[in-house]
């Protein structure tokens, strides 16, 4: 049986492109947010929000312009923005990998349950897309609500799934800009974060999903998994 750590695993490798900004404090330890730019195979980049402990920032000299290879979880939280509750997403860093040779700079594994009916649609170019909101259990009776997007055959499969059904996915964390109309003359550019699905299993098939096997694809390290790499490990998990 998978534990809550196995249910939500992400690895990113990229460059820190913003200064660290204080986020919150837990048991006297500060956590900071920064933006990490992660290259895609296409040459474009995903600009991802990342939360890091102040101890790791100091120990690993994590500052703007530095590289970051990190293993953790993709988490959600609610924040009041303009008087409304907004779902915020961040890569919460649990471990930093100092010397791993990376095969895939952006990989995520999620195991959870569908918490809203999937929304299936086609683009003007007849590309099939399905939006899925996945609830993933976390320690201390918490849950993360992760928006995911499926394409093509996966989208057609996703539209048949029901609320409450178990689902397991692999893919990458992506950033996407979109336009929001504020008024008749004002349009604002915003950024959405989501999981772009490359592999999807549901129902009984999700029970046989192996997170270790999936995450090994991110590393070229003599057959070793992230857990057996040389890691700096956080002792506080919030």
Greater model confidence, 234 or 81: 81
pLDDT tens-digit readout, 15-60 = 999 999 999 999 999 999 999 999 998 889 999 999 999 999 999 9
Instruction: Return d(Cα 140, Cα 8) in angstroms, integer.
Output: 15
H or E element at residue 161 = none
Contacts for 125 with CB less than 8 Å, ≥ 6 apart? none
The per-residue pLDDT for 3 is 63
Listing DSSP states for 145-212 in one string gives: EEEEEEEHHHHHHHTT--TT-EEEEEEEEEEEEEEEE-SSS-EEEEEEEEEEEEEEEETHHHHT--HH
Residue spans of the domains in the chain: they are: 8-233
pLDDT tens-digit readout, 202-216 = 988 888 888 888 876
Looking at CATH, the fold of the domain delimited by 8-233 is given as OB fold (Dihydrolipoamide Acetyltransferase, E2P) (2.40.50)
pLDDT exceeds cutoff 50 at 229: no
pLDDT tens-digit readout, 89-142 = 999 999 998 877 788 899 999 999 999 999 999 999 999 999 999 999 998 889
The per-residue pLDDT for 217 is 57
The per-residue pLDDT for 212 is 82
Q: In whole numbers, what is the pLDDT of the chain averaged over residues?
A: 88
């Amino acid at each position: 049986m998978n534990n809550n750590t196995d249910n939500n695993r992400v690895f990113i490798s990229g460059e820190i492109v913003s200064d660290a900004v204080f986020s919150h404090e837990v048991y006297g330890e500060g956590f900071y947010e920064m933006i990490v730019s992660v290259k895609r195979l296409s040459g474009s980049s995903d600009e991802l929000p990342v939360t890091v402990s102040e101890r790791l920032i100091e120990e690993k000299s994590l500052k703007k312009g530095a590289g970051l290879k990190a293993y953790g979880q993709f988490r959600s939280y609610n924040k009041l923005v303009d008087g409304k509750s907004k779902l915020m997403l961040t890569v919460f860093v649990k471990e930093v990998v100092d010397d791993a040779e990376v095969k895939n700079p952006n990989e995520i594994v999620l195991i959870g349950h569908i918490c809203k009916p999937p929304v299936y649609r086609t683009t003007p170019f007849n590309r099939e897309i399905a939006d899925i909101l996945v609830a993933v259990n976390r320690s201390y009776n918490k849950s993360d609500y992760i928006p995911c997007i499926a394409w093509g055959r996966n989208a057609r499969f996703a539209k048949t799934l029901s609320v409450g059904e178990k689902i397991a996915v692999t893919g990458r964390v992506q950033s996407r800009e979109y336009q929001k109309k504020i008024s008749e003359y004002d349009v604002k550019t915003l950024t959405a974060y989501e999981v772009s699905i490359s592999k999807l299993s549901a129902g009984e098939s999700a029970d046989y999903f192996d997170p270790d096997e999936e995450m090994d694809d991110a590393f070229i390290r003599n057959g070793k998994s992230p857990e057996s790499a040389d890691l700096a490990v956080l002792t506080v998990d919030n």
